[in-house]
Structure 1
């Protein structure tokens, strides 16, 4: 029987690098949807997405780490080319990658740091709210859509051993994703 690792991996002593500046012509979006490994993997596969970084946001700790991030969400920062994929298209895709009816975590990962949320800048709020309203109106979700849309605050990059985890550890990631029941639950929630 598979026992979910709750998105944990062996720590390294590597220091966190400073956040790289946003490349010209790129935009950013920040989403929380359970374990950041899965969000990083799924968002990174979208055309127009140039990078996805795992990290922490939404809490008060100035220097969150995997071992110490009270109040923070595990989240991803998505950098994308708006000429290929728009912010609204990213938000529309985000919903299908999460269980927007569960505010206690996502799939087998339980607790406040695994809650889903969309973190927005003032310019992104209208698109995020419109996307959420469209999901609610569609009737395609088996349950009440409760994922919050929150103002974006500081985003701290996760430790090196969490970054690009699915690509670097494909067998462990596949076992984690299957054992966690992520895809099966998505089919139930989204009636597909």
Structure 2
């Protein structure tokens, strides 16, 4: 029996987010899908109000929710409203879907840390939304950049850890 946990985030096109998170220490699985929208059983062609997000299954003995969020804020631009790279619209918003008060407080603290760092030209517009349900995307979207190694992504590591700065302060 494992004691794995799940985290739910959105920060632009889910393909690039999944590709980078899948190889993080402590991450056991990733799945792309839709969160926070208006319809049940959303699809790539019909997901009004949903963000393209990822479900991250992780081992809390090897990583933490806070460390996952630290990485999240390093691989996408949290200061652009409803946009990442060429992708525009609420599907590409920066959002953390928290499951409990502890995750909400951790999210707020990490956002403050990111804003206080001054690394981005503006403050994060990342929203916090209560987690309700994760709808897995269609099979062709799972592991997309493994299947299409030259496929589109606007995600990449921009900075070292924000957590390192916090320890020095």
Fold in common (TM above 0.5): yes
- Paired residues in the alignment total 159
Larger Rg: 1
Q: TM-score, normalised by structure 2?
A: 0.88
Whether 2:51 is the aligned partner of 1:73: answer yes
Whether 2:129 is the aligned partner of 1:154: answer no
SS at match of 1:99: coil
SS at match of 2:120: coil
CA distance in 1, matches of 2:120, 2:36: 26
Q: Which residue of 1 aligns with 2:42?
A: 64
Whether 2:16 is the aligned partner of 1:32: answer no
Residue 144 of structure 1 and its aligned partner are, at CA, apart by: 2.0
Q: Which residue of 1 aligns with 2:24?
A: 46
Question: How do residues 111-126 of structure 1 correspond to structure 2 at under 5 angstroms?
Answer: 111-122=89-100, 123-126=102-105
Whether 2:106 is the aligned partner of 1:127: answer yes
Q: Which residue of 2 aligns with 1:168?
A: 147
The question of whether the paired residues in 1 share the 8 Å contact of 2:76 and 2:156 is answered with no
Structure 2, unmatched stretches of 5+, are 163-169
- 1:147-175 superposed Cα distances (whole Å, 9 cap, x missing partner): 1111111110000000001111112x2xx
Alignment RMSD: 1.8
